[in-house]
Structure 1
C-alpha cells in the first residue's frame, strides 16, 4: 500500500542542511515524493528527517534504494546484518569517524548519497558536523581555483582515521577494526575538483583518505592539504546536527564532508548506514578518476 505525504523543507543553516517534515519514509513512497526528497538533497546537500522510529534495516535500505542502486555495506568491512547494504557505525567496535572525510573516496566510484539512521545515542555529545564542498570551492581565491582545477590526489584506505585520527575505543577493538578496514588495500587517483554529475557544480574532493597530491612531495602535500581543507571546514561552510532518536540524515556525498564528534567518552553510539552507488568523478577538463590498486566492482556494483 502506498503512503501519501506532503514534504515540507526547512533550512537549518546558511551553507547547507534542511529538515524535512510531513514525510514518513518508506519503500512505498509515491514517485513524486521520492523525487522531492532527492531534489532537496541536491539543493541543500544534507537533509534530516526526524521521527522515523518505524524504520528497520529492511525498510531503511528499501527506501534508500528508491534513490538509486545501493552499494554493499563497505568495500572491506562486512556489515554482519541480514540486509547486506547496512553498515553499522558502532563506537564500541572502534568505528569512530572523528575526522573530516567524504565517504569511501579510496575507490574509483565513491557513493553518490549516504544515509545514516540513529539507533543508540549517548545522553550528550555525538553530534555530526557537515561541510559544503561546493561552497568551499566557490569561495576560493581565483589563484587557488586555478591551482586546484588541475590538481590530482591519491586516496587510500590505508591512511585513515582508525589509525591517525581515532579516539581509542574498547581495548583491542580499534586495532581489530583497522585490520578489517585495510584487509584489501585500495588506492585511487581523483581530481581535487570534480564536476557534479547532476548539479554541474564544482566540488572539492579532499578529506582524510588523501595520502598525497600527485607531483608533490610529502611535506608540500601536507601543507597544501591543510590549506585547502581549511577552506572546506570554515564555520560558514558547515552545519552541526544534534541527533535525536528516530533521526535519519541523507546527504550528497559528492558535495560534502562530515565529521562525527567523539566527545562522549566510552558511552555507546550506534548508527546504521546505507549508501547509494556513485559514478566515477570527472575533472574540470573531462578526465576520469583512476583506480591504481584494488577492484571495487563488487562494492559499487551492488543493487
Structure 2
C-alpha cells in the first residue's frame, strides 16, 4: 500500500493542514492515545516523514503516563543521557523557572552522542499568556537549496559535536542556566564526529547535521570553520525553511530530529512555561560515502578534591 493510500485510509487528507510550504502540518480531529490502531500510527509516521514536524491541538487528556504510552508507539523510549527524567517517567521536563528550561538556540537534540534521538514528542503543560513559540527548520530542504559545489563540499565535511556550550554565543543566558549546564548537562563531556550530511535511513534524503552543538570541523582551521558553519547554518535557518508554532496548553508536537533543527523563542519574560518531552532512541548517522558517526571522547568530570 502506498503512503498516500495509507494516510487516506487512516487520517482524512482534509484533516491534514500544511503550516508552511516546506515544513510543518497540523493534524486535526485525532485523539492521541497509546491505543491508536497500528494503521493510524503508520499514517502519523508517514506524515511526519513528509512534513518533518506535525502538530496536534486539544490533547489535554494526555498525562505523563499516556504521553509515554503514545510516544512508545514510535520506538524505544529513552531518558536524556545527562539530565535524567521526571520522577517515575522517561520524560524530560523543561521548566522556564529552572535552569536549562529555555532552549533559545538552533539545535537538533542530543547530537553530542552518536545515535542521537530520531523522534521527539513534546507536550505543552503550562504556556505563558504571550510568547514562547517554537520554530523548526527543514534541514533536507536546506541541503537542496545549496548550489551543487557547496553540496559537494558539505558531503565531504565532518564536524565535532559536544555538549560543552560556548556561553558567549548565547544572547540571553542566565546565571541559573550556566549553573545547570555546568552541574548537569556537562557532567559527562561528549565529543562525537558526525558527517555534515547524513543519509536519512527512511527517506534516503540528504540532511544537514549542524546546530549549536558543533564545536569545529574535522581538518579545517578554526577561522575557516566559523565561516563554513555560518554559511551552511544560514541555509538551515532561512525563513523559507522554517515553521513557527504558537502553543496552547494541551498541544502536542512531534518532529523528526534527523531532518530538523528547532529553536524555542525566549520572549515571555518571567512568565511560566513548562513542556515535557518524550524521546525515541535513534540510529548512528551514515555519511554519503557510507561511513558512520563515532563518539571519540566520553569523559566524566572528576569531583573536586578539597586540599585544605
TM-score, normalised on structure 2?
0.90
Match of 1:98 in 2: 104
Q: Could you tell me whether the CA contact under 8 Å between 2:193 and 2:296 is conserved in 1?
A: yes
Distance in 1 separating the partners of 2:172 and 2:159: 26
Q: Could you tell me whether the CA contact under 8 Å between 1:70 and 1:274 is conserved in 2?
A: yes
Cα RMSD, aligned residues only: 1.6
Q: Could you tell me whether the CA contact under 8 Å between 2:11 and 2:43 is conserved in 1?
A: no
Match of 2:161 in 1: 155
Q: How does 1:43-192 map to 2 (within 5 A)?
A: 43-72=50-79, 74-83=80-89, 85-95=90-100, 96-159=102-165, 164-165=169-170, 167-169=172-174, 172-179=175-182, 180-192=184-196
Distance in 1 separating the partners of 2:65 and 2:228: 43
Q: Could you tell me whether the CA contact under 8 Å between 2:125 and 2:250 is conserved in 1?
A: yes
The C-alpha deviation readout for 1:175-206, integer Å capped at 9, x for no partner, is 33112100100110000000000000000000
Distance in 2 separating the partners of 1:174 and 1:258: 19
* Structure 1: unaligned runs, 5 residues or longer: 296-303
The C-alpha deviation readout for 1:133-192, integer Å capped at 9, x for no partner, is 0000011011100100010000000126x66426344xx521331121001001100000
Secondary structure of the residue aligned to 1:115 is strand
Distance in 2 separating the partners of 1:174 and 1:139: 35
Q: Could you tell me whether the CA contact under 8 Å between 2:194 and 2:294 is conserved in 1?
A: yes
Distance in 1 separating the partners of 2:293 and 2:133: 32
Distance in 2 separating the partners of 1:80 and 1:237: 33
1:6: Cα distance to partner?
4.5
Match of 1:230 in 2: 234
**Alignment counterpart, residue 23 of structure 1, candidates 9, 15, 30:** 30
Q: Could you tell me whether the CA contact under 8 Å between 1:6 and 1:22 is conserved in 2?
A: no
Match of 1:298 in 2: none
Secondary structure of the residue aligned to 1:93 is coil
Q: Could you tell me whether the CA contact under 8 Å between 1:148 and 1:192 is conserved in 2?
A: yes
Match of 1:300 in 2: none
1:294: Cα distance to partner?
2.0
Distance in 2 separating the partners of 1:114 and 1:198: 16
Match of 2:5 in 1: none
Distance in 1 separating the partners of 2:81 and 2:169: 20
Q: Could you tell me whether the CA contact under 8 Å between 1:115 and 1:248 is conserved in 2?
A: yes
Distance in 2 separating the partners of 1:163 and 1:58: 38
Distance in 2 separating the partners of 1:45 and 1:210: 22
| Inter-CA distance 292–39: structure 2 relative to 1 (3 Å threshold) | same
Secondary structure of the residue aligned to 1:131 is strand
Q: How does 1:182-261 map to 2 (within 5 A)?
A: 182-261=186-265
Distance in 1 separating the partners of 2:168 and 2:23: 30
Distance in 1 separating the partners of 2:35 and 2:26: 21
Q: Give aligned pairs, total.
A: 287
Secondary structure of the residue aligned to 2:172 is coil
The C-alpha deviation readout for 1:239-269, integer Å capped at 9, x for no partner, is 1111011101000000000000001111111
TM-score, normalised on structure 1?
0.91
* Structure 2: unaligned runs, 5 residues or longer: 1-9, 300-308
